[in-house]
């Protein structure tokens, strides 16, 4: 299979794209993947490190208001479309796949205009503006939350697949992970993390939570984010920690840390939620305010409404509300067990397989129509 894949700007768009690429290569080892992104985006660093061919186009996201700047960006979009058409014509792919972020706008549109099978994958319960635009042109829209189906009423085909999760997450084992991390048997463990860059809001609340957890000898790992680390430790003050109580700037072995935990405190990024639920972890989800279209709150409400965890809005978050939720979940075995079961119930560990099947079925369908 020859595939063009595009998605960029944030890890929430890039990692699903890479998971799809990995699944294609796993099933068809002679496949070739061309990833199209922007020179400025995070994908320009991450994708080449994974060994995939990488090309760039010029495009910028639109502002959410009428402005002279948007007129310039429309012109840039048209330039990006022309670049995408040239790249795709030269590459002659069997399929074009977009996972969100403004860069996939001209790429997927170019694929559709050239009559190539096109799919987009939406990670969030509330779709991004680019995917909502592309849904009118793409042959198939793959969604991760059934709640988002209502936003794609003009689409040709909408299929619930879930979010693809990295293989290292799906294969992680709690017992071996706890042994690696030195978590004592029978000790409850809390993981708190605000995304790869950290969350100042979660950090502020954890300053009052960590001393209480340490006093009751809970195990925990709290990741502050690199830019917050020094300031966090200074403001936290003196606190005596045991070997199973860790404050770090960044977690580079997330699969083990996540597998070892009994409760996860996190923001509401779609991929984060998918990884948490894939391992059946109860969670306290704190959606970041002011995200595009407030999509994190939609994600968090899906967790809360399913009974897989609790949601605390940033405006309601403080050490008291967070600590109360932590103790309520960890001290109530029945509640914890129920949340764990429901967390696993809303996960889709086979999402990457389902997406691959959708790619193959669309290619076969389009080939059949072409041959008629």
pLDDT confidence of 289, banded at 50, 70, 90? confident
What is the model's pLDDT at position 240? 92
Average pLDDT over residues 66-75: 70
Same domain as 138, residue 210: no
Taking the model in full, what pTM does it have? Answer: 0.81
Q: What is the pLDDT of residue 362?
A: 97
Query: Binding residue per annotation — 10?
Result: yes
Query: For position 337, which CATH number holds?
Result: 3.40.50.2000
- 279 and 267 part of one domain: yes
> Contact at 8 Å (CB) between 316 and 205?
no
Any binding-site annotation on 319?
A: no
**Mean predicted lDDT score pLDDT of the chain:** 92
In the predicted model, is pLDDT for residue 63 greater than 60? no
Asked if residue 178 and residue 142 are part of one domain, the reply reads no
- Interval 321-357: pLDDT, tens: 999 999 999 999 999 999 999 999 988 889 999 999 9
Where do we find the tokens 């075995």? 333
Q: Any binding-site annotation on 272?
A: no
Do residues 17 and 153 share a domain? Answer: yes
Q: Are residues 186 and 159 in the same domain?
A: no
The answer to whether residues 72 and 96 belong to one domain is yes
Q: For residues 227 and 198, give the distance between their C-alpha atoms in angstroms, rounded to a whole number.
A: 8
Distance separating alpha carbons of residues 370 and 32, to the nearest angstrom: 23
Local confidence band at 124 (pLDDT 50, 70, 90 cut-offs): confident
pLDDT at 371: 65
pLDDT band (50, 70, 90) for residue 68: low
Do 186 and 333 have their domain in common? Answer: yes
pLDDT in tens, 219-273: 999 999 999 999 999 999 889 999 999 999 999 899 999 999 999 999 998 889 9
For the chain, percent of residues with pLDDT exceeding 90: 76
The pLDDT, as a whole number, for residue 305 is 93
Q: Is the pLDDT of residue 195 over 90?
A: no
Same domain, 145 and 199: no
What pLDDT does 197 receive?
A: 79
Decide which of 52 and 367 is more confident: 52
User: Residue 50 corresponds to which tokens in the numbers above?
Assistant: 């994974």
153 is in an annotated binding site: no
Determine whether the annotation assigns residue 124 to a binding site: yes
Structure tokens that stand for 305 in this block: 């409404």
Question: Which residue range(s) make up the domain with 110?
Answer: 2-164+349-371
Count of domains for the chain = 2
To the question of whether residue 140 is assigned a binding role by annotation, the answer is no
| Cα–Cα distance measured from residue 67 to residue 279, given in angstroms and rounded to the nearest whole number | 45
Same domain for 206 and 303, yes or no, is yes
- Nearest residue to 315 (alpha-carbon basis) of 295, 297, 339: 297
Would you place residue 369 in the very low, low, confident or very high pLDDT band (cuts 50, 70, 90)? confident
Chain center to CA of 119: 18
Query: In the predicted model, what is the mean pLDDT of residues 318-323?
Result: 97
Give the tens place of pLDDT for each residue, 169-188. Answer: 988 999 999 999 999 999 99
Element at 220 (helix H, strand E)? strand 219-223
Tens of pLDDT along 157-173? 999 999 998 888 988 99
Residue reference for tokens 């209502």? 150
Domain identity same for 283 and 305 = yes
Is a pLDDT exceeding 60 seen at residue 200?
yes
Task: List the one residue out of 87, 88, 22, 29 whose CA is nearest residue 50.
Answer: 22
**Region 198-209: what's the mean pLDDT?**
94
Please report the pLDDT score of residue 102 as a whole number. Answer: 93
Given a cut of 70, whether residue 291 has pLDDT beyond it is: no
pLDDT in tens, 76-99: 899 999 999 999 999 999 999 999
The answer to whether the annotation marks 115 as part of a ligand binding site is no
User: Do 42 and 112 belong to one domain?
Assistant: yes
**First-to-final CA distance of the chain:** 22
Percent of the chain surpassing pLDDT 70: 96
196 is in an annotated binding site: yes
Instruction: Mark whether 182 and 141 lie in a shared domain.
Output: no
């Amino acid at each position: 299979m020859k595939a063009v894949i595009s998605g960029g700007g944030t890890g929430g768009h890039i990692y699903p794209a890479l998971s799809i690429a990995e699944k294609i290569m796993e099933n068809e080892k002679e496949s070739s993947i061309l990833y199209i992104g922007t020179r400025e985006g995070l994908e320009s660093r991450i994708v080449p490190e994974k060994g995939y061919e990488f090309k760039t186009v010029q495009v910028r996201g639109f502002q959410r208001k009428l402005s002279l700047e948007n007129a310039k960006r429309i012109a840039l979009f048209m330039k990006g479309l022309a670049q995408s058409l040239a790249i795709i014509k030269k590459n002659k792919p069997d399929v074009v796949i977009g996972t969100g972020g403004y860069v996939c706008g001209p790429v997927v549109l170019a694929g559709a205009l050239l009559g190539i099978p096109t799919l987009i994958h939406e990670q969030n319960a509330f779709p991004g503006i680019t995917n909502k635009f592309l849904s009118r042109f793409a042959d198939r829209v793959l969604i991760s939350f059934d709640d988002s189906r209502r936003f794609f009423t003009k689409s040709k085909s909408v299929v619930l697949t879930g979010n693809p999760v990295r293989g290292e997450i799906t294969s992680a084992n709690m017992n071996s992970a706890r042994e690696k991390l030195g978590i004592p048997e029978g000790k409850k463990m809390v993981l708190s993390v605000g995304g790869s860059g950290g969350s100042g809001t979660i950090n502020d609340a954890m300053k009052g939570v960590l001393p209480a957890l340490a006093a009751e000898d809970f195990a925990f790992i709290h990741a502050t984010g690199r830019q917050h680390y020094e300031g966090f430790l200074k403001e936290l003050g003196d606190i005596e920690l045991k070997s199973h109580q860790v404050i770090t700037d960044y977690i580079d072995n997330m699969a083990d840390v996540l597998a070892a935990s009994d409760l996860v405190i996190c923001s509401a990024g779609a991929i984060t939620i998918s990884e948490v639920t894939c391992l059946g972890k109860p969670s306290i989800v704190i959606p970041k305010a002011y995200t595009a279209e407030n999509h994190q709150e939609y994600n968090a409400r899906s967790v809360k409404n399913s009974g897989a965890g609790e949601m605390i809005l940033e405006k309601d978050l403080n050490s008291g509300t967070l600590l109360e939720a932590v103790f309520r979940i960890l001290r109530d075995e029945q509640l914890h067990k129920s949340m764990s079961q429901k967390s696993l119930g809303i996960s889709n560990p086979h999402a990457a397989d389902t997406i691959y099947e959708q790619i193959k079925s669309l290619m076969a369908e389009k080939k059949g129509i072409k041959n008629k």
